[in-house]
Chains A and B, each alone.
Chain A
Amino acid sequence: MPCYTVRMGQKPPAHTPEKEALLVALRGILPDHSVLCEGEQLRPYECDGLTAWRALPGVVCLPSNAEQVQQILRLCGQMHYPVVARGAGTGLSGGALPLENGVLLSLAKFTRILEIDADNRTARVECGVRNLAISEAVAPHGLYYAPDPSSQIACTIGGNVAENSGGVHCLKYGLTVHNVLGLKALTMDGELLEIGSKALDTPGYDLLALLHGSEGLLGVLLEVTVKLLPQPERAQLALAAFHDVTQAAQAVAAIIGAGIIPAGLEMMDNLALCAAEDYAHAGYPRDAAAILLCELDGSNEEVSELIMLVRDLLLANGAYEVHTARDDAERLKMWAGRKAAFPAVGRLAPDYYCMDGTIPRRHLSAVLTRIAELSRHYDLPVANVFHAGDGNLHPLILYDANQSDERTRAEEFGGEILQLCLDAGGTITGEHGVGVEKLNQMCAQFTPHELVQFHEIKHAFDPKDLLNPGKAVPTLHRCAEHGAMHVHHGKLPFPELERF
C-alpha cells in the first residue's frame, strides 16, 4: 500500500550510548542480519496499513524462535526499552506503528504450521502464519478456518488475535475470539503463558478472551490453536441491486427478522461497488444505489430452501434485481469484488481514510443519510462498505493529503462519523482496533473510571508499561486535553485523581 503522508519523524533515530549497548546485547541473542538499525533497512517498518502515521523504529528485531523472543523481552525489560510486536503490518489503526525509541519485534519468521489434528478439528500454528494459509493447509481434510478478513492473504493469525479480526463470514461463524481455543504468549518479563488447549474451555479467568483484541499490549503471542470447521456441503451467493440505500438496509433487517443467519451479508454503496467493479470485474450492476451480497451455506437441501426465501425477501423489500451465482467460480468472482473493495476504492483518490464504527442495525439508514450529509458538508466523497449483517460500517473517506487542508477535513469528518456511531448506541471500532488512531474517541466512549480499569488490567500483565505503550487505551491526561471527557452536571468526574 503506498504511503502518501507523513506525520511523525522521518529521520533515522539517533544512536545514543544506551542504544549502542542495546544493539550489542541484541546481537548476542540474534544473528547480525536479524538486527536492523540503519535508515533504509528500517523503512519497510515505518507504518502499518494506516499509512498516514509513520515513525522509524529504533531497532528492528527478527527473531525466529520463542527463546529469542523471550531473551529480547527480558533484555528490553531490564533496559527499559519499549517493544512493539508486528505481524504482517496490515493493521488499520496504527497498532504496529513503531516507536522511535523502541524495538520493533517482527514475527515474520514464525510461519510454521505445527500440528493439524483433523479428529479434534484444530490446528496449532505459529503466530506469523497467514490467515489464508491455515485454510489452505487444512483443506485436504475437508476443513477450514472460518474468520476471513479481506486482508487474509497477507495478515497473520497473531495480528488477527491481537485485533480480534472479523471477516465477511463472521455473521454466522463468529469473530477470531470465537474460533481460537488456545494461545501461547510471553509477557513483557518473559514469562510464558499457556492459555487454553484443544478442550473447549479452560480453568480460571477467560484470559483467552482478554488477549483477543488486546492490540499487543498484554503479551507477545507465539502460538495459536484455532478451531476448524467442516467445509459446508454447498454455498450459494445472491446479489441484490437496489435503487435506494434505505431499501437495502430494510432488506437486511427483513432477512435477519425472518430467522435466517446468512453466512455473510454485505452491503456496498454506488461509489464502492463501481470502484470494485472497475477493479475486479465482479459483475456488479453500476446503476445500483446499493448492492447486497447474501451468502447461504449448509446442506444442499437447506441452501436450496433458504435461497428462495431470501430471494423473495429481497424482492419484497425493493430489490430491482436479484442474481444468484451460477456456480462456485461465479460465486468467488462476486466475492472478489467485495474483498478487494478497499484497494479498489483506494484507486479513486490519492488517499483514503477507513472508518470502522459499529451501530445497532436498525439505525443503518439514518446513519447512512447523515454520513451523506457530512460528506457534502466536508466536501469529501465517501464510499461505504459494510458488514451489514452485524452493523459494522466501513465508510472510506477519499481525500488528497497534498491538498492544503484535506487531511484535516478527512480526520474531522471521520471523528464525526465515530461520534455518530456512539450516539446511535454503537462503538468506535468493530474490528480494526483503536491503535493510535482512535485514542481521542476512546475518551468519548469510556468514562475515566473505565479507562483506569483498562490501565489496571494492562499493569497486571505489564507493570512497567513497555509493551506497545501509548496504544489502544488513552491516558486520562490525554482525554482531559482532548476535552472529550464525560462531564456530568458541569463537574469533571473523578476529582480525587491527580492528573489534570
Chain B
Amino acid sequence: MDADRSVELQAAVREAAACKTPLHIIAGDSKKFYGRAATGTPFPVAQHCGIVHYEPGELIITARAGTPLAEIEAALAAHGQMLPFEPPHFGPTATLGGTIACGLSGPRRPYAGAARDFVLGVKIINGQGEILKFGGEVMKNVAGFDVSRLMVGALGTLGLLLEISLKVLPKPQHELTLAFTCTPQEALAHITEWSGQPVPLSGACHDGARLVVRLSGSRSGVIAFQRKLRGEVVNDGEKFWQQLREHQHDFFKGDALLWRFSVPPATPLLNLPGQLFIDWGGAQRWLINPLPADVIRASAVKLGGHATLFRGGERIGQVFHPLPPALLALHKRLKTAFDPHAIFNPGRLYVEF
C-alpha cells in the first residue's frame, strides 16, 4: 500500500542521531550481497512507497524510495516509456531507493547514460534528521550544489532517500539484436570501430563466444544498419539483454568471486587468467578469478580504471577500489557534512567511514 512514512522515519532518524545509534538501512534487501557487510540496527524503510507524480508528457517520474522498481517500470511501460539506464533488479523486491543508492546500471549504460545521469531531484533525511529537498522535476537545474547526483551510488551513507525524481525516455521505436561469432579481441575491435561511427548501438557485449550488439531507433534506421553490420539476428534479443542485466546469464551462475572492472572501453584484453564477460561496449568487464585482490586492483589501475569485488567472498575487507589519500579525506569530510553522528550505513561503502 502506498504510504508517506516520512514523519515516522524522521522521528526514528532523530532518535538514532541523538543516541548515535548506527542504522542499517534496508528496503527490498535485494542487493544485500553488494558493498561491504552491513552493521548497525536494521532499519526497514520499504513501507515508505508509492509513485507520487508521473507526467509522461514531461518525461519525469517522482516516487517514494520504497516503491518497487517493478511497479515503476510497469507504470512507465504503460506509456511506452522506460528507465534508460536499465537498472538491474537482482530480485523481485528491488526498490527505487536501493537502485539509486547502489547506482547500478545495465547494458544500455554506455549509450543512454547511467543511473546518476537520470536523477533530477531527491528528498532525503540527513544525519541530523532534517528533511531536505534538492533538484526537482525539471530537466535543467543548477541552483545549489548537485546533491541529487551525489546520493547515487553512495550506498545510503550520506542520507536516507525519501523521494527520487527521474528523467525517463520513450522506448525506442524499434530494437534489434545481432550476434557475431568471434574472439573477445575481435569483438573489441568491432565495437571500437562502430562506436566511432554513427551506429545506433544500445548494447554491446561479448559473452565468451559471440559479440552481441543491440541497435535501437526508428525502424528504417535500425534496418539500414543491420544491412551494414550484417551478423545473425538473435530472435529472443530482449530476453538476452534482460538476462545479462539481471546476471542470469550462465556466466554469472555459481558463487565464485565476481570482479567488476571499469576501464576505458577500448582497453585491450586484460592479461589475467579466469573467465571474462565483456559488457558496456568494453567499458565494463566481469571477471571470475581467484587471484588476490591487490593483484587484480593493480592491473585495473594499470589499465586506467578500477575494480570492485562485486559479489562473493568475505565482505569485510575493501570491496570497492581504495581511494587515494586526498580523496579519502574529502570523502570523510563529506560524510561528516551530511551525517555528523555517523549513523547511516557505517562502513558499507568503505571501512573508513
Instruction: Point out residues on A near B: beta carbons under 8 Å.
Output: 117-122, 141-143, 163-164, 166, 170-171, 174-175, 177-178, 187, 191-195, 197-207, 209-210, 212-214, 218, 230-233, 253, 256-257, 259-261, 298-302, 304-306, 358-362, 387, 390-392, 425-434, 438, 442, 445-447, 449-450, 453-454, 456-461, 472-473
Contact = CB atoms under 8 A, between A and B. Distances in A.
B264 A302 contact: no
Contact of A362 (B57, B144, B199, B264): B57
A47 to B, nearest CB: 20
Interface string B31-52: 0000000000000000000000
B324 to A, nearest CB: 7
A491 to B, nearest CB: 16
Contacts, number: 256
B95 interface: no
Nearest to B188: A119
Contacts of B270: none
A390 B60 CA distance: 11
B154 interface: yes
Q: Which of B113, B221, B263 has the most A CB atoms < 10 Å from its CB?
A: B221
A425 B137 contact: yes
B142 interface: yes
Contact of A360 (B55, B195, B218, B333): B55
A390 B140 contact: yes
A231 B197 CA distance: 7
A454 B144 contact: yes
Interface in B191-249: 192, 195-200, 217-221, 223-225
Nearest to B263: A199
Interface residue tally on B, bucketed by range = 35 or more
Contacts of A166: 140
Interface in B326-353: 326-327, 330-331, 333-334, 336-338, 349-350
Given A203-B320, A390-B139, A447-B132, A298 B221 contact: yes
B22 to A, nearest CB: 19
B142 A431 contact: yes
Given A120-B266, A194-B324, A460-B334, A449 B138 contact: no
A473 B170 contact: no
A393 to B, nearest CB: 10
A427 B334 contact: no
17 contacts: A117-B264, A121-B196, A193-B327, A195-B327, A202-B306, A203-B323, A204-B323, A205-B153, A210-B149, A210-B150, A299-B200, A299-B225, A360-B137, A427-B140, A445-B143, A459-B337, A461-B330
Contacts of B196: 118-119, 121, 141-143, 230
A41 B220 CA distance: 59
B177 interface: no
Contact of B146 (A117, A141, A177, A456): A177
Q: Which of A175, A178, A230, A299 has the most B CB atoms < 10 Å from its CB?
A: A299
Interface in B158-176: 158, 169-171, 173
Interface in B263-319: 263-266, 280, 283-284, 304-306, 308
Nearest to B170: A259
B326 A192 contact: yes
A415 to B, nearest CB: 15
B264 A120 contact: yes
B304 A430 contact: no
A232 B153 contact: no
Q: Which of A166, A194, A200, A430 has the most B CB atoms < 10 Å from its CB?
A: A200
B138 A454 contact: no
A429 B138 contact: no
A230 B200 contact: no
Given A193-B327, A301-B224, A302-B220, A430 B141 contact: yes
B99 interface: no
Contacts of A472: 144
A299 B138 contact: no
Give 10 closest A-B pairs by Cβ, nearest first.
A302-B221, A259-B170, A209-B149, A430-B140, A198-B264, A390-B139, A119-B266, A456-B337, A301-B220, A460-B333
Contacts of B173: 259
Contacts of B190: none
B57 A197 contact: no
B152 interface: yes
